[in-house]
């Protein structure tokens, strides 16, 4: 397990380098409103992830918000915000330092990329309609992203020998299924409100396509 933890930390700089966005960095430096959005999102995510509950240590249940994060900022910026979020969680001692790399890759990066892939597939193959964006890219996307996140955490604990399968199934995965609908509902509501009142906050939302009067 120690080898995997060290390798994960070594992979983190590579992941961040691959997700580097010059345009995003220029926008962050030049636009105060975007700065407020990025850092406000990071703090909000920290509250969501810190407000957790669970029966077994490490097998915690909490709202993710990763689907909304990727819809607001795109995949690459979302990964960098996840890195900021990881730093806050480490400083607050919510995550052991040695587990930080694995947590970042499995619990943050992979679900965020999956979430963006769901959006991209919906944009590529489905009708560009507001309700498609809300229900597919927002509602269902959030639920599936949550299930992936929890499945990866369960796999981590199983392969690492941290908990037996019976404990993971009974005390985590069964309970995690109860989080699917609330996560989807809250994410769908957040996406709906932003699409109507703050569409500029949604990097993946294109007014001319999703709100075209011809549709």
pLDDT means per 10 residues in the chain (215 residues)? 85 94 85 90 92 78 93 94 94 90 94 96 92 94 95 90 88 85 94 91 86 58
3-state secondary structure of 104: helix
Q: Which of the 8 DSSP states describes residue 54?
A: E
Q: What does the pLDDT read at residue 212?
A: 65
In terms of DSSP H, where are the helices of the chain?
2-18, 22-30, 32-50, 66-91, 100-102, 110-125, 130-132, 141-159, 165-168, 174-176, 180-197, 207-210
Q: What does the pLDDT read at residue 84?
A: 95
Q: What does the pLDDT read at residue 214?
A: 53
Q: What does the pLDDT read at residue 152?
A: 93
Domain 2-210 classification at class level: mainly alpha
Q: What is the pTM of this model?
A: 0.91
In a 13 Å sphere around the CA of 132, the CA atoms on its Cβ side amount to 19
Q: What does the pLDDT read at residue 171?
A: 85
């Amino acid at each position: 397990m120690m080898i995997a933890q060290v390798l994960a930390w070594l992979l983190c700089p590579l992941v961040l380098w691959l997700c580097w966005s010059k345009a995003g960095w220029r926008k962050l430096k030049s636009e105060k409103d975007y700065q407020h959005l990025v850092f406000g999102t990071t703090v909000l995510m920290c509250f969501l992830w810190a407000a957790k509950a669970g029966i077994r240590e490490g097998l915690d249940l909490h709202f993710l918000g990763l689907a909304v994060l990727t819809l607001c900022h795109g995949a690459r910026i979302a990964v960098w915000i996840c890195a900021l979020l990881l730093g806050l969680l480490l400083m607050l001692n919510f995550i052991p330092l040695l587990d930080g790399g694995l947590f970042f890759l499995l619990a943050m990066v992979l679900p965020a990329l999956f979430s963006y892939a769901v959006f991209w597939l919906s944009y590529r193959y489905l009708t560009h309609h507001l309700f498609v964006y809300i229900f597919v890219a927002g509602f269902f996307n959030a639920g599936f992203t949550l299930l992936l996140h929890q499945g990866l955490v369960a796999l981590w604990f199983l392969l690492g020998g941290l908990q037996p399968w019976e404990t993971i199934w009974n005390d985590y995965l069964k309970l995690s299924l109860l989080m699917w609908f609330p996560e989807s509902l809250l994410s769908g509501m957040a996406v709906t409100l932003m699409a109507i009142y703050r569409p500029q906050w949604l990097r993946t939302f294109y007014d001319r396509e999703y709100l075209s009067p011809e549709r």
